[in-house]
Structure 1
Amino acid sequence: MKKDQAFNPGRKFDQVRRGAREVFFRDGYAGSSVDDIASASRVSKATLYSYFPEKSLIFQDVLSNEMDQISARAPIQIDTAMPLAEALALMARQIAGWLVSQPVVLLHRASIAEAFRFPDLARRYHALLQTLLHDTVREHLDRWVAMNQLHIDDTSLAAAQLVRLSGAVVHEPALLAGATEPDESTIHRIGDGAARVFLAAHGAERSEASLAAPG
């Protein structure tokens, strides 16, 4: 649903949205029926249709609202005064934890599964990831490069690599049905490992040593 396409909200609108969210995230778009959604929402089909004339509009509204909720809080929050190694480790842990959090996992599954049916939603989800993760990481990398703490030629590519490193091992398994969210110790281990690998590749001391090494 386009953001400027407004339905007339009634007193049971949020109730319908919650019920639809439960059904869509449990059964997927194709596996959900209007009857299922009305039952989960505890409303009649007539009431449901008074808000949404067709199932596709309910799905678009649910996913759009979910993206709004997720984007309301930045997943990466770093104190600019933190030492580089500590800040990188914290950033990687925050990325890993966010990627496997239940709201993000549910939204990721639904967006990717229905990318052909709802390409605009898939593109919006990709843009959301770009803004919340990649662009934020790149801003920090640019700052550290300017301070000569990191040596990076392409901070956009490096930001994408750090996001991938941070989600390694935990993100894809989390998308499987029945998967449980990794515990905090696992998130710390993955995030800290990603930060060490990244720092080894781009840290100023390593870069200077490589330049000084005989050919």
Structure 2
Amino acid sequence: MKTFSHLETMGALKRYAIFCVPTKQRGDVWMRVSESERSQSVVEVDAARFVNAWRGPKSSHPEIAHLDEVGWRNDYKFHDAEEGFESGWGNPVPLAEVNAGFWLDDELAHGVVASGRFVRWVRRVFPAARSTAREPERHPYVSFTNGITRTIWLLVAGAERFPVMCGKEDAAILHHIAGARESTPCPVLELVPDIGHLERLDQNRTFHEKLKAHGLPIWAA
């Protein structure tokens, strides 16, 4: 996962995975996911593939997905994302939370899960068989639980790849339809392993010292 940077123990001794996302217009910007999201996974998406999937007929928020850059800049919450990303590594922006799946003939394809080896899953969901006029049409979709404005800000800033959070069952689907090259979905539980209380205190102290050295505000402990 190319955007993963490091682990940090921040406010309230909570552990985070920190991501550094290169953008063409704003340089490197910083994002995070908390250890408390242990039921989720992180998927690094290719920006162009993600937008293409988001603009599919079954995806959520089409009124935003189909806007151009000017339209995204005019979103009423765009300035909130602008302010959030300005905080930099000292206070990274939370990852957007998305969902992914398939619709078959206008019905949600239940039971399509990412269990077992990914290759076997792909062969099961996408069998190598001739398509016929009688086969149902499969429509991939993505939807947002939160983080639309953060996402369009990244797209406007020119991010070519960026991490998002999604449920474990959606992770392989999202990776298949929009995943970045040379990346694999990673459960938060594996990305942010647990550590003891004393080690948390020590790492949190180091983080506060780093903030003080750069004249940045200290997270409440």
| TM-score category of the 2 structures, normalised to the smaller one | under 0.3
* Bigger strand share: 2
* Bigger helix share: 1
Mark the structure with the bigger radius of gyration: 1
